[in-house]
Chains A and B, each alone.
Chain A
Amino acid sequence: MTMNQNAAPTLRVSNLRVTYYTDAGRVTAVNEVSFALAPGERLGLVGESGCGKSTLALALMRMIKPPGRIESGSAIVRTDKGEVDLFALDEEDMRRARLSVISYIPQGAMNALNPVLRVGQQMIDALQAHVPEMSYQAMRERAEQALESVELKRSVFNLYPHELSGGMKQRVCIAIGILLSPRVIIADEPTSALDVVVQRQVMETICKVQAQIGASLILIGHDMGLMAQVMHRVAVMYAGRLVEVSPVRALFTRPLHPYTQALIQSLPRLDNRGVFRGLPGLAPSLLRLPSGCAFHPRCAQAMAVCAQVVPKPITTADGRFVACHLHDSVDSDLTPAPVLQEQSHANAPAA
């Protein structure tokens, strides 16, 4: 693992808030989300459909389209040339930042490639948009190297997407994502359409190239198995808010938030065959969020306060983050989080 816990974070997201203006009212899809990502770190982002995890990813890419809007917050990436706040860039600078500072590997790569252009041309297009001064030969060399680094043959450069299998197409998308060695890679369920063996290979490839270029990775998904296998930390999202962020081992063995606990218990493991414990109830509609903690109607441990007050996020002594009244200063280990750096690593110095 090349993760460096002690270095200043690569990405610091603070108080991010994204809303959609719909006919039925204003919907806050991402609500006061803050977290930090260490250099080389792999952070999993899990939650039920509609919890806002893809919106969070799109917001970081500044690809939220109306009626959606980034209301507030900052997303500061540390690059070689200093720090940039993605939300403060103008359109042209943001265009340049995509792919070179932060890149996005979409869900269903099958549909992300242009079917009438050769793979190589699509990679050249991406390079041309960012480094127009580069010669064709140099661009081609860079593209073929990227293909090689995701374990594809150089000859894939000359193929059309329909000539590739699903796993190969996903690898091409990864190759495009790392062309310009971004600091942060966001992958949105990159393996959900693949068979298990291919899934394993593609995940191994993503981790390998991510480590090679020293980028941090945010993997969005709902496959807790993948999270357990490849992530360093996992962030759990519920109804637009982060409810827990913990190192992967702690999350799976000692989940703090009742939602995480229920989620972990509902998983089919090898040694609990035939034991089913689904999550009770349904994910709430973002239009009609329950008062207080949005999870309280489904929570087995809900107390009176949960229906009234949104729990304040806290960081535990061992660097875990949780937003739940059960952990409200009950435990002396828990201290209120600093305003900006709620989930940055315990040792990370304030930048």
Chain B
Amino acid sequence: MPTPPLLELRQVSKVYARGLLAREQVVALNKVSLTIDDQRPSIIAVAGESGSGKTTLGSLVLGFIQPTTGAVLYRGQDVARLNGAAYLRFRREVQAVFQDPFAVFNPFYRVDHLLETPIAKFKLARSKREARRMMEDALNAVGLRPEEILGRFPHQLSGGQRQRITIARALLLKPRLLVADEPVSMVDASLRATILESLRRMRDEHGISILYITHDLTTAYHVSDDILVLYAGNVVEAGDAEQVIRQPKHPYTQLLIDSIPWPEVDRRWGSVELVQRDGAAASGGCRFFARCPAAMPRCAQSAPALYRVSEAQAAACYLHEGQPVALDEVLRASDRAVMA
């Protein structure tokens, strides 16, 4: 029997209902499938604007919320049904780094507390000395000098240092999967490169796969192997990072990439026409219809499938209707290496 994938999302939807009899329904995520292979660690970026469902996706993977339909499987086991030792193992092997490096610290404790807690909780060390060594190793691994960090209070450290401590904390537990939700958006531009470097080292030196959730396509391009672009809860484009950024096939991805302010004076932004059409967001149609410069009448009627536009790229747009419909395998991250 082949080993089950590390992480598998099978047609996962999340619907938030409100009002009496749940009359108002908000589809935060619509039938998203994604597979991260167990064999080859990779970084998968989940990119989208606010409200695209990217954080919902992260919360589902972390088991904080349950899917309305579909299933999230971790090593073949449904995350919603984990219990006992399997649940504890999941909690240890799947770690998270969040956006705000200020909010995760309790200002009354020294930063050591953040590192000591998981060691105690999962009984990782047999002695204080061993615990100390583990903490020092983890800090070294993210490029921090332990003697400058341990014993300090959070307010004595910069945002970049704090964010790297939260990555060190995740690293302590030797996870298999890290969910990093906007880890650099609140960090100074000059420190971003250092943190992204830490993420890449987690993949290369520690064999950890990373779900990198972000609104920033420039960092997604730089750090990830594959990119999944979400729009209003739907996967609109997915595939190899280089291809998606350099040759985006979905009009939405094209618009996003065109709007990136590259720090280059000769690469101008903003040549794609901005459209706002009325009678939009009709149920059943493509969710991007209202803003799409290439929309056709049929786009308002029914939503397109995810078409496979190349070996390692798929786009959910009728412009590519001639192509074969992509099954989940395009979203299977590490197969890309075989295909390419």
**Interfacial residues, chain A to chain B (CB-CB below 8 A):** 48-49, 166, 195-201, 204, 222-229, 248-249, 252-253, 262-264, 266-270, 273-274, 276-279, 282-283
Number of chain B residues close to chain A: CB under 8 A: 41
CB B139 to nearest CB in A, in angstroms, measures 15
Once bound together, how far apart are the Cα atoms of A227 and B264, in whole Å? Answer: 9
Task: Mark contacts of B231-275 with chain A using CB atoms, 8 A cut-off: 1 yes-contact digit, 0 otherwise.
Answer: 000000000001001100000000110011111110111100010
Nearest residue, chain A, Cβ from B185:
A192
Contact of A282 with B161 in the complex, beta carbons under 8 Å = yes
CB A336 to nearest CB in B, in angstroms, measures 29
Q: Which residues of B contact A268 (CB under 8 A)?
A: 192-193, 218-219, 221-222, 263
Q: Which residues of B contact A226 (CB under 8 A)?
A: 261
Q: Which residues of B contact A224 (CB under 8 A)?
A: 189, 263
Nearest residue, chain B, Cβ from A229:
B261
A-B contact number at CB 8 A: 115
Contact of B193 with A200 in the complex, beta carbons under 8 Å = no
Once bound together, how far apart are the Cα atoms of A252 and B259, in whole Å? Answer: 19
Once bound together, how far apart are the Cα atoms of A166 and B215, in whole Å? Answer: 15
Q: Which residues of A contact B270 (CB under 8 A)?
A: 200, 204
A266: which of B193, B200, B223, B260 is its contact (CB, 8 Å)? B193
Contact of B261 with A278 in the complex, beta carbons under 8 Å = no
Contact of A196 with B215 in the complex, beta carbons under 8 Å = yes
Q: Which residues of A contact B207 (CB under 8 A)?
A: none
Contact of B269 with A200 in the complex, beta carbons under 8 Å = yes
Assuming the contacts A196-B215, A200-B270, asked whether A276 and B196 have C-beta atoms less than 8 A apart, the reply is yes
CB A301 to nearest CB in B, in angstroms, measures 17
Nearest residue, chain B, Cβ from A274:
B222
Assuming the contacts A48-B188, A197-B49, A222-B188, asked whether A278 and B197 have C-beta atoms less than 8 A apart, the reply is yes
Q: Which residues of A contact B188 (CB under 8 A)?
A: 48-49, 222, 283
- What are 12 A-B contacts defined by CB distance under 8 Å? A48-B188, A200-B270, A229-B268, A229-B269, A248-B265, A252-B264, A264-B263, A266-B189, A267-B189, A269-B264, A279-B191, A279-B194
Interface of B is mostly: helix
**Interfacial residues, chain B to chain A (CB-CB below 8 A):** 49-50, 158-161, 188-194, 196-197, 200, 215-219, 221-223, 242, 245-246, 255-256, 259-265, 267-270, 274
A196: which of B246, B256, B267 is its contact (CB, 8 Å)? B256
Nearest residue, chain B, Cβ from A51:
B188
A-B residue pairs, 7 tightest by C-beta = A225-B261, A278-B194, A278-B193, A195-B49, A267-B263, A224-B263, A279-B190
Once bound together, how far apart are the Cα atoms of A267 and B197, in whole Å? Answer: 13
Once bound together, how far apart are the Cα atoms of A279 and B200, in whole Å? Answer: 17
Q: Which residues of A contact B190 (CB under 8 A)?
A: 48, 222, 262-263, 266, 278-279, 283
Once bound together, how far apart are the Cα atoms of A54 and B305, in whole Å? Answer: 48
Nearest residue, chain B, Cβ from A271:
B264
Contact of B189 with A222 in the complex, beta carbons under 8 Å = yes
CB A282 to nearest CB in B, in angstroms, measures 6
Assuming the contacts A196-B217, A197-B255, asked whether A223 and B189 have C-beta atoms less than 8 A apart, the reply is yes
Q: Which residues of B contact A283 (CB under 8 A)?
A: 158, 188, 190
Q: Which residues of A contact B200 (CB under 8 A)?
A: 274, 276
Once bound together, how far apart are the Cα atoms of A197 and B256, in whole Å? Answer: 6
Q: Which residues of A contact B246 (CB under 8 A)?
A: 270
Once bound together, how far apart are the Cα atoms of A198 and B255, in whole Å? Answer: 11
Once bound together, how far apart are the Cα atoms of A348 and B287, in whole Å? Answer: 53
Assuming the contacts A222-B188, A278-B191, asked whether A269 and B262 have C-beta atoms less than 8 A apart, the reply is yes
Nearest residue, chain A, Cβ from B217:
A196
Once bound together, how far apart are the Cα atoms of A296 and B111, in whole Å? Answer: 29
Q: Which residues of A contact B216 (CB under 8 A)?
A: 196
Once bound together, how far apart are the Cα atoms of A282 and B149, in whole Å? Answer: 13
Nearest residue, chain A, Cβ from B47:
A196
CB B121 to nearest CB in A, in angstroms, measures 31
Once bound together, how far apart are the Cα atoms of A223 and B187, in whole Å? Answer: 11
Q: Which residues of A contact B264 (CB under 8 A)?
A: 228, 252, 269-270
Once bound together, how far apart are the Cα atoms of A200 and B141, in whole Å? Answer: 37
Q: Which residues of A contact B263 (CB under 8 A)?
A: 224-225, 227-228, 252, 264, 267-269
Once bound together, how far apart are the Cα atoms of A248 and B188, in whole Å? Answer: 20
Nearest residue, chain A, Cβ from B261:
A225
Q: Which residues of A contact B193 (CB under 8 A)?
A: 266, 268, 276-279
CB B270 to nearest CB in A, in angstroms, measures 5
Q: Which residues of A contact B218 (CB under 8 A)?
A: 225, 268
CB B55 to nearest CB in A, in angstroms, measures 14
Once bound together, how far apart are the Cα atoms of A225 and B265, in whole Å? Answer: 9
Once bound together, how far apart are the Cα atoms of A222 and B192, in whole Å? Answer: 12
Extra contacts, 17 of them, besides A197-B255, A273-B222, A279-B191 (Cβ < 8 A), are A49-B159, A222-B190, A225-B218, A225-B262, A225-B263, A228-B262, A228-B263, A252-B264, A268-B263, A269-B262, A270-B262, A274-B222, A274-B223, A276-B197, A276-B200, A278-B191, A278-B192
CB A264 to nearest CB in B, in angstroms, measures 7
Contact of B261 with A276 in the complex, beta carbons under 8 Å = no
Contact of B274 with A197 in the complex, beta carbons under 8 Å = yes
Nearest residue, chain B, Cβ from A264:
B263
Contact of B265 with A252 in the complex, beta carbons under 8 Å = yes
Nearest residue, chain A, Cβ from B221:
A273
Q: Which residues of B contact A270 (CB under 8 A)?
A: 221, 245-246, 262, 264, 267
